[in-house]
Amino acid sequence: MSPSLFSPLSLRETTIPNRIGVSPMCQYSAVDGVATDWHLVHLGSRAVGGAGLVMTEATAVAPEGRISPKDLGIWTDEQATALRRLASFVRDQGAVPGIQLAHAGRKASTRRPWEGGAPIGPADGGWEVVAPSEVPWPYEDHESPPVHALSTADISGVVDDFVAAAERALDAGFLVAEVHAAHGYLLHEFLSPVTNRRTDEYGGDFAGRTRLVREVTTAVRDVWPDDRPVFVRVSATDWLPDRDSWTVDDTVRLARDLADCGADLVDVSSGGIHPEQELPDVGPGYQVPYAERVRTAVDLPVAAVGAITTAQHADALVRNGRADVVLLGREYLRDPYFTHRAAYELGRDAAWPPQYQRASRR
């Protein structure tokens, strides 16, 4: 029988009980990078609601890797301790806890979205932003802050930061580690010729621009247990067809390399490198073709994202072999119990917590 939305998925020796996951969604609600009760309730309620995989938001591997001063972090033991409670609760509900390890690069040091998202300078509590090259994010209504181009020694430090973060995440009890190489953040900035103007071994051709992502993935895999999977999130395209930019063909080629680096799944999203990106028609499943393209070309499981809002659609993606996992973002914000509702609509059994089982009867 072909897998369905409620079939388990085993990656290495870790089994995700169903194919529905909570996509990483920034909450901008941490205190000095430390998770709060908000994070416990936010992610814990989705685990109670039946999600098979529950991913943290982009969790900064270094203080300068935060998007905002309120971002979650894992560069200190205190931060890891706070996350341990969260990971434990998610596991107690039968879900698999995952953590997305991230560095915001040139898109760091900004106010929270509901505060306008403007850049924050060091004098106002922000910090110097870093990137592959001195190419700042082009803010529409604000002057772009200067960007520090990373030296090769700095780049080695970035790899070390991801390794230390992965080790702390392991100690905190996470079963999945995801390397964030999408949405215009630091690792994506190295991948894309839009932002990478380097002429050394970390720039230039495809091999140079992908080198840091490959090094980080390999390094995280080396410290992550053999029985637990490593994911990599990528932006399949920059949505800049008239520029020298990152393309779907590049993503397929990178996915093959990531498999060789020990990645177990590619989480396929898109965009984020430049505000002038040309978005497609944003309809249901508009990013799914990118995931399907990778899955067809590379012997590696993929996760699909993007405007997937119904149980029937999510189930069809898995049944038709277009994706191995379906990650939901906004729909889980609207409905923490989407998974239980999906099981009800599809006539499938799902593991309801005993406190809620009276609602599971049709």
Task: Give the residue carrying structure tokens 């996509």.
Answer: 23
* CA–CA distance, 150 with 90 (Å, rounded to integer): 37
Contact of 124 with 109, CB cutoff 8 Å: no
Q: What is the DSSP string of 74-126?
A: -SSHHHHHHHHHHHHHHHHTTPEEEEEEE--GGG-SB--GGGT--B--GGGT-
Q: Which of 86, 187, 198, 106 is nearest to 151 (CA)?
A: 198
Contact of 53 with 95, CB cutoff 8 Å: yes
Active site residue 202: no
Contact of 342 with 331, CB cutoff 8 Å: no
* CA–CA distance, 278 with 17 (Å, rounded to integer): 37
Beta bridge partners of 233: 180, 267
Contact of 339 with 311, CB cutoff 8 Å: no
For 292, the 3-state DSSP assignment is: helix
Contact of 163 with 220, CB cutoff 8 Å: yes
Give me the catalytic one of 185, 202, 332, 337.
185
Annotated catalytic residues are 185
